[in-house]
Amino acid sequence: MSRPEVHIIDTRVANVASLIAAFARLGARATLTTEPRTVGGAGAVVLPGVGSFGAGMSALRGAGLVEVIRERLDAARPTLAVCLGLQLLCAASDESPGVEGISHLPAKVTRYPGSVRVPQLGWNFIEPGRSCSLLTRGHAYFANSYRLTAPPPGWSVAVAGYAGPFVAALERGPVLACQFHPELSGRFGIDLLDRWLARAEQEASVAC
């Protein structure tokens, strides 16, 4: 079976070149899109993010994508959220007071305390819970000033530590949300993207 085409949501605030290159290494074609119909119907979708919570949500609302993404997540269709992308799935963030997120996760993103260097830049070890199937133990690359401190119910979680434990990644079926950048995390990240693509392939075969 050929690898599914990956549609990366163009939020205008993310550098997606490394993501496109990572998927190319895995034999998957990745293209940018802001079309709601494409995002709603695609076999595999990525919500990337580098920048602020408010700017990311403004881009999604401007493109008419917020409700489409919610419906996709509610239906548990293969979706990957990266870095700010994970935070955008939440209801709110300290970074942009008064801005409503996608609200698929009933949680608020908070800033790291002043006792540590912000942003967290570099490698950190993640530890997946026993129920994780996509996530494994290993070192991943982070670049974040804000984090989710507690996992929402119904999700399998991997944690890391920086000023205390925080959510490094979440998974539920073919939906994967990473605070770290898998595309910048060497072999560990490439292998994770490969497993997510394989899950998307399985979902496509079931749908057929």
Domain count, the chain: 1
Catalytic positions, written as ranges: 83, 181, 183
Radius of gyration of the chain, Cα coordinates, nearest whole angstrom? 16
Q: What is d(CA 86, CA 16) in angstroms, rounded to the nearest whole number?
A: 15
Domain CATH code at residue 153: 3.40.50.880
Decide: 47 and 81 in contact? Cβ < 8 Å: yes
CA angle (139 as vertex; 138, 145 as ends), nearest 5: 130
Q: Which residue has the tokens 């830049």?
A: 121
Per-residue pLDDT, 13: 65
Helix (H/G/I), strand (E/B), else coil: 119: coil
Please give the full DSSP string across 28-41, using - where no structure is assigned. Answer: --EEEE--HHHHHH
Query: How far is Cα 67 from Cα 160, in angstroms, rounded to an integer?
Result: 31
Q: Please indicate, yes or no, if residue 1 is contained in any of the structural domains.
A: no
C-alpha closest to that of 14 among 43, 45, 44, 55: 55
pTM: 0.96
Q: Over its length of 208 residues, how does the chain's per-residue pLDDT go in tens digits?
A: 578 899 999 987 667 899 999 999 999 999 999 999 999 999 999 999 878 999 999 999 999 999 999 999 999 999 999 999 999 999 999 999 999 999 999 999 999 999 999 999 999 999 999 999 999 999 999 999 999 999 999 999 999 999 999 999 999 999 999 999 999 999 999 999 999 999 999 988 776 5
Give the tokens for residue 69: 């993404």
Structural domain that includes position 203: 6-207
Exposed, middle or buried, 74 (CB in 10 Å: 0-12/13-18/19+)?
A: exposed
Residue with tokens 């993010």: 49
In this predicted model, what pLDDT tens digit does every residue of 9-41 receive, in sequence order?
Answer: 998 766 789 999 999 999 999 999 999 999 999
Segment (H or E) for 25? helix 17-25
